[in-house]
Structure 1
Amino acid sequence: MARLRRCLLVLLLVPLFAVPESAAAATSSFRGVNWADARDNYVDGWVIPTGLTAGDSYDSVRGKADGIITGFQTKLGANTVRLPINPQSVNSDWWGRYKGAADSALSHGMKVIFGYWEANKDGFVDDGGAWNTMWDKVTADYGGNGNVYFEPMNEPFGYSLNAWVSLCSTWLSRHSAIPRGRVLISGTGYNDNVTGVGAASALTGTLLSLHFYGFWASDTTRSAWTANLSNRLGSYSSRTIIDEAGAPMTTGLDYSAGHQDGNNFTAYFAATTDLARSRQMGVVYWPGLRSGDTYSITRQSGSGLETNNATGVTQLRWGWGL
């Protein structure tokens, strides 16, 4: 996630004008969590989400994932998991084993979002050839499963809007057998604004993904955060999944009603979940599980999970419409 690295640039990209609210939304069926690598997903090597190890067999990954996925469902009410991929992971023997995580989620009736993280941390696809090979393999393995969704790139901040639309158009043409409604196109910058990609006719019919974090501003009221998020969505709420949003869950903050305004993070999280609920947008929390991350809403406990903040869970479920 590289929060500090992104903060200043995101502030510079925030629109300064208000935009009208979108029409009725259609992404609220995504009640998700990110299952992330403890090192962050920007790794030059295999991505290995918390709880898995590089030495795991397919059966071991599948068994460990069964406990974690069940925890996401029973402790949170999640029905979607976002999994990181990169060419190093997919174009190697790790892929045949790592697929156990996705297969576990699918066997539990979950949706799966595969998202590409680059390793160079410069906002560009690292190697176009390896990236294409990766996506050819992933779509060949999971393109026929209607519960699997594909996000060509996470946080494409190196690209201009036109260059990013062009790259996504090429991806859509190469993988034209995948219905556009199962492709998530990241917003520009750090996934922080979907108005440009939403308006691009070349991307018509795709879903859009937005990231939104409380460290991007210092506001302490829900109204200020609601305006901030609304500007980033423009009129495209109906196509948008907020597939990264999160706040500290291990520091004792109280996210319950009556304790929201007055604190940067509680006001932010209340505004985000309130707007998602009112516009019926999907939210994929960052992270559902990641060791060493104060934002992690769960932690491992035996073969399963426990939650880190009951009020945070309640507020997230509110945003999911539960």
Structure 2
Amino acid sequence: MRKTPARTRVTPRTRAALAAVAIAAIGATTLTGSPAAASASAAAPGHGTSQFRGVNWADPRDNFADDYLQLSGLSTSDDYAQTYARSSRIISAFRANLGANTVRLPINPYTVNGAYWKSYRAVIDAASDRGFKVIVSYWEGTGDKRDGLIDDEATFWPMWDTVVKAYRHDPRVYFEPMNEPHGYTDAQWADIAAKWLATYPSVPRDRVFVSGAGYNDHVTSVCADPRLKGTYLSLHHYGFWKSYATYDQWVADLKERLGDCADRTVADEFGAEMTTGLDYNVPTPSSNPVNFIQADTDTFRKLGMGSVYWPGLRTDDIYSIQKLTGDASRPWLTTTNQSGADRLAWAWGRGRPVAG
């Protein structure tokens, strides 16, 4: 939120070769001191989710599209190898600049069911090959389609058939059936999530993220549904949802949306202004964004929750914590707000607390 036929088979040997080319292109000096590749294994839901430390990589259109998704820094005219090389650099920059080990990516039927899927797969492959956990999530279209409902089940299920077939054996890839299903009641959404699980029984439940109901704004209803047992839950939380709240009020707001389900939940969207000069390392009681970010990152750390910032990269978004730099064919990233990056590090179990 914010607001947001037969296909070519890529063999493991091809992916490995492309990975070697991409890593060589990045250069050894760039990667010096980067955190080690994340383990593919993850703690089971119900035992904490702090292993997910990530960012969203988004289309400039907020991922709502009626055509191919084009992630910031990529081009739909690029082939698999070109997309893989660019994606490898951006994923490496997420790790080098932020210490991330997880990326959340959008999918839609236009992209997966169309010719661009041959190239778009390179984004997922590059992230997985770099040791990242990858959360793939369905986004709806624009205009009247942007209603919190599945746009067209006749294309939705074939999309997931393709994605699941391609990645069910990759332990680093996680499946989120739908982003922000706010057009459904809590009960209706739980029914759809249960249908997804029944449709793809070969997918381990601990590789599924069930979105919270509404705008992913509470997980209490899906957490209580026994049909969804064993899955991760995804929560979204944003400071702009209130015109102003104190630090303590933001902590209380987050905990109310979590209920007793923090040990299964990943906040796979949360964010605030990063390009307007705010300092998130300094207590500023009069600033709603500062109160929000400090409250959320403190609480994620305290509860052992994973978090995936929105957005890690989205062109021309004031919330974006990374910005493209360098030649378009060899992209790299710079951090837009170091204090924001510090707060992510704190949420992820590193760094220092905010000075009082």
Bin the TM-score by the shorter chain: over 0.9
1:287 equivalent in alignment to 2:311: yes
The one-letter amino acid of 1:30's match is: F
CA contact (8 A) 2:177 2:210 kept: yes
The one-letter amino acid of 2:65's match is: V
Distance 1:321 1:48 in 2: 32
Which of 133, 150, 171 lines up with 1:146 in the alignment?
171
Match of 2:300 in 1: 276
5 Å matches for 1:42-81? 42-81=64-103
CA contact (8 A) 1:24 1:280 kept: no
**How much does 1:204 deviate?**
0.8
CA contact (8 A) 1:220 1:265 kept: no
SS at structure 1 position matched to 2:215: helix
Match of 1:111 in 2: 133
CA contact (8 A) 2:46 2:264 kept: no
Match of 2:25 in 1: none
The one-letter amino acid of 2:317's match is: D
> Structure 2-normalised TM-score?
0.83
Q: Choose between structure 1 and 2 for higher RCO, CA contacts under 8 A separated by at least 6 residues.
A: 1
SS at structure 1 position matched to 2:170: coil
5 Å matches for 1:248-263? 248-256=273-281, 258-263=282-287
Which of 343, 346, 353 lines up with 1:315 in the alignment?
343
5 Å matches for 1:86-125? 86-119=108-141, 120-125=145-150
Is the alpha carbon distance of 1:24 and 1:184 closer, same or farther for their aligned partners in structure 2, counting shifts above 3 Å? closer
CA contact (8 A) 1:122 1:158 kept: yes
Q: Post-superposition, which runs of at least 4 consecutive aligned residues in structure 1 deviate over 3 A?
A: none
Give the percent of matched residue pairs that are identical in Structure 1 and Structure 2: 47
**How much does 1:54 deviate?**
1.4
SS at structure 2 position matched to 1:3: coil
Match of 1:304 in 2: 332
Which of 154, 157, 163 lines up with 1:129 in the alignment?
154
Match of 2:213 in 1: 188
Deviations 1:93-127 (A, max 9, x none): 11110111111111110000000001111000011
Please provide the CA RMSD for this pair.
1.3
Distance 2:340 2:276 in 1: 11
Instruction: Give unpaired runs (5+ residues) of structure 1.
Output: 5-22
Which of 59, 65, 86 lines up with 1:37 in the alignment?
59
Deviations 1:259-316 (A, max 9, x none): 3422000100010000000001000000000001000000011121100001010011
**How much does 1:24 deviate?**
7.8
**How much does 1:218 deviate?**
2.5
Count of matched residue pairs: 303
The one-letter amino acid of 2:308's match is: V
Instruction: Give unpaired runs (5+ residues) of structure 2.
Output: 5-44, 351-356
The one-letter amino acid of 1:74's match is: A
CA contact (8 A) 2:194 2:227 kept: yes
Is the alpha carbon distance of 1:116 and 1:307 closer, same or farther for their aligned partners in structure 2, counting shifts above 3 Å? same
5 Å matches for 1:218-257? 218-256=243-281
1:210 equivalent in alignment to 2:238: no
Which of 202, 225, 245 lines up with 1:177 in the alignment?
202
Deviations 1:243-272 (A, max 9, x none): 00011000000000x334220001000100
**How much does 1:67 deviate?**
1.0
Distance 1:24 1:64 in 2: 36
**How much does 1:32 deviate?**
0.7
The one-letter amino acid of 1:38's match is: P
Distance 2:196 2:187 in 1: 14
The one-letter amino acid of 1:47's match is: L
* Largest Rg, 1 or 2: 2
Distance 1:40 1:58 in 2: 23
Distance 2:248 2:71 in 1: 35
The one-letter amino acid of 2:343's match is: Q
> Structure 1-normalised TM-score?
0.92
Distance 1:254 1:88 in 2: 40
Distance 2:172 2:248 in 1: 35
Distance 2:97 2:240 in 1: 26
CA contact (8 A) 2:68 2:110 kept: yes
SS at structure 2 position matched to 1:43: coil
Distance 2:65 2:219 in 1: 26
Distance 2:347 2:295 in 1: 9
**How much does 1:51 deviate?**
0.4
CA contact (8 A) 2:70 2:76 kept: yes
**How much does 1:82 deviate?**
0.3
